[in-house]
Amino acid sequence: MNKSLSRPGEIRALAGARAIPPLLLVLYHYCEGHHYRNFKPFDLIVGHGYLWVEFFFVLSGFILTYVYGARALEFWRGRTYRDFLAARLSRLYPLHLAMLFYILAIMLILNAMARASGGVSIYEEAYHPVVTWQTFIGNLFLVQAWNIFPSLSWNGASWFVSVEFLLCLLFPIYAILARGGWLGAIGLIAAGVAGLTFLSFTGKHGLDITFHNGIFRGMSAFAVGVGLCVLYGKTKTLGDALPEWAISLAQGVVLLWLAWGMFDNGWSHTPRDIYTVLPMLALVYVLAFDRGFAARFMQTRALTKLGEWSYAIYMGQTAWLQLIRFFERAYPPDDTLILGVRFGDLIWWPEPFLLLLVCVGWGALLCTFIEIPANLALRRFFTRRSVAA
């Protein structure tokens, strides 16, 4: 691997901030399939959970520009672009592939059990997960979200990885645009916000856009992240000179703005989604200075560890969201009394949070035993290939 691609210092607050989106996304995906909890503060926060994908895309654009932006011209000559793609695929692909085959195994086992018992598998019910051989091939090549298929498929959450792969292919163009200084930063941010606004007002479900036009959603948010990183570079000296209370004030304003976007703009999946997304974009910028009360909170050990597991939590959730439909068949009827309480009432609140704990634990295992070892092994492999070449 090209030694010139060594990473600059980590922005710890952004590393910790990665912990929040997958937790909310797990709860969002659960509630979409199992109803919300009829508690407005919880429902509005979780109901906007899918919008945290924007935060992921913006964060990705910011971090990639932070790491590689100074070497933008190198992508157009030599082996830099190839080494960059190798590094990104080493990070993204192993866990995606593992979960794809894991869900394939679950499907085969549950289908066999259904045939043996004369029942119906969850993969054969109405509204079943789409698990065709065509979409399997698309998932293998990470193109399943490139406006090719009419639905999510297999590990539905991996649509994000498909779009992220496309963004990696396009990154040299973004990196060149980022060299435009102040004008480049403003142009990228304005273009990205305009793209998200257009999608929010023209989509049938606001910004809940995945297999169809998810690439444009990702490209727009990623552009904002690239522009914010350039803006951060231009203002870092000024930001470092400000007292910490001023940075905390800016973070407080953005968090209040985010709360307004969630609580004062009604239910999700509407054109008003853009009003929740805008403060999410700004949150990346104000956390990047690694100071202030919100940044200090994101730097806590628990959040940084969850941030380390975040990709695995996100990618691993689909298997459990599918399996819970199978496990629920063994539940007693809702009117069954347990210690004098209806089972339906007893399980109403614990179930989503138990699922969340399972997904966190599962993500920790996936990260420890698949994501990190496979990433290191592939990077060593590509490094040897690069040296040999």
Reported as a single tens digit per residue, the pLDDT across 169-226 is 999 999 999 998 899 999 999 999 999 999 999 988 999 999 999 999 999 999 999 9
Q: Check whether 21 has a pLDDT greater than 70.
A: yes
Reported as a single tens digit per residue, the pLDDT across 352-369 is 999 999 999 999 999 999
pLDDT grade for 389, boundaries at 50, 70 and 90: low
- The model's pTM: 0.93
Nearest by Cα to 55 from 16, 85, 99:
16
Quickly list H helices, the chain: 12-17, 20-34, 40-47, 52-68, 80-117, 133-140, 159-177, 181-202, 214-241, 244-263, 273-287, 293-298, 301-327, 343-348, 350-366, 372-388
- pLDDT confidence of residue 6: 53
Q: What residues pair up with 341 in beta bridges, in sequence order? A: 338
- Residue 342 is given by DSSP the state E
Return d(Cα 281, Cα 189) in angstroms, integer.
10
Return d(Cα 302, Cα 194) in angstroms, integer.
36
Reported as a single tens digit per residue, the pLDDT across 87-146 is 999 999 999 999 999 999 999 999 999 999 888 888 887 767 789 999 999 999 999 999
pLDDT grade for 387, boundaries at 50, 70 and 90: low
Q: Does residue 76 or residue 306 have the better pLDDT?
A: 306
N-term to C-term CA, the chain: 11
Tokens, residue 319: 């298997």
- pLDDT confidence of residue 9: 81
- Residue 371 is given by DSSP the state I
- pLDDT confidence of residue 1: 43
Backbone angles phi, psi at 153, to 5 degrees: -150, 155
Going from N- to C-terminal start, the domains of the chain cover 3-388
Q: Check whether 3 has a pLDDT greater than 70.
A: no
Average pLDDT over residues 78-88: 89
